[in-house]
Structure 1
Amino acid sequence: MLYKIIGGGLIIAATTVFGCSKARALSERVNSLLRIKTALSVLESEIIFSANHMKRAFLRLADTVGPAFLFREAAARLEEDGVGKAWRDAVDKYRKKLCLADEDVRMLKTLSAELGMTDRENQVKNLRRVAALLDTALIKAREEYDRSARLYRSCGIMAGLLVVILLV
């Protein structure tokens, strides 16, 4: 009997943790998009006012705004791969850590076409276009979080209870 109680508790705990981790991923996506949008605004200022090399700009973003690991990775790959490939590779490498959806990744990769390759004006236009797309993605991510996070948590608990009831 004691083993059944312990087993049931472990099942409920496991499904609850699973549901909470799904809800946390939704929350992390919202936070990541918000941080990246802020970072792109700072990058826009760097391009307009500072005339810094992209590596220096990425490192400043890593130190000030974040997500630090994304911009440090892009800066590290910059000299060997070029700006576009460095940015694409950094986004690909950290997409899961940032909990980004496929559409978010595609949107961020569009930056690689002009980032560091064209004049300031076109880079700023591209950054503003991606920032506007990020606004839309951020609204959708918040709506998805509001709609689904509580559901994931509740379903995690309820699924565990259902399995325990079926096993007992």
Structure 2
Amino acid sequence: MSDTPRADGSPGGLTHLDASGAARMVDVSAKDVSARTATATGRVLLSAAAVAALRGGGVPKGDALAVARIAGIQGAKRTPDLVPLCHPIAVHGVDVDLTVVDEGVDIRATVRTADRTGVEMEALTSVMTAALGLVDMVKAVDPGAEVTRVRVEEKTGGKKGHWRRGE
């Protein structure tokens, strides 16, 4: 990080800090509206018994994957309520995919908007709330469930354009 203040007075590239270092919400009103997407992924590590219950429909609370999918969609829409400096934006689409694997469940969320700021935080929140919804549904079978590897994989739109992990 550079110590040189940005044109907006914030120190060295941290746009959520003002010139004195205090947290602030960035003013995006001058930015152009553009189509934007973000995809995030994560994994819930589960016991073999929990994986078997998911595969066989034997989760005591019901359809854990459906509940997790709805939790992920709801989480994307509620992100500004959970992340203090996140802008409330119009979320135009959310896809949450859950795949049962031998180690647990892989989660992939893609969020879309046409707005003045990106949806990376919405995609991350979608993955986390889907994971929490899943953990809540399977905790009777596996109290040791673990949420891991939550990260942004790709984003499009905005001034910086397209970014993909590993490129």
Give TM-score scaled by structure 2 length: 0.25
User: What is the TM-score normalised by the length of structure 1?
Assistant: 0.25
Larger Rg: 1
Q: Which has the higher contact order (CA 8 A, sep 6+)?
A: 1
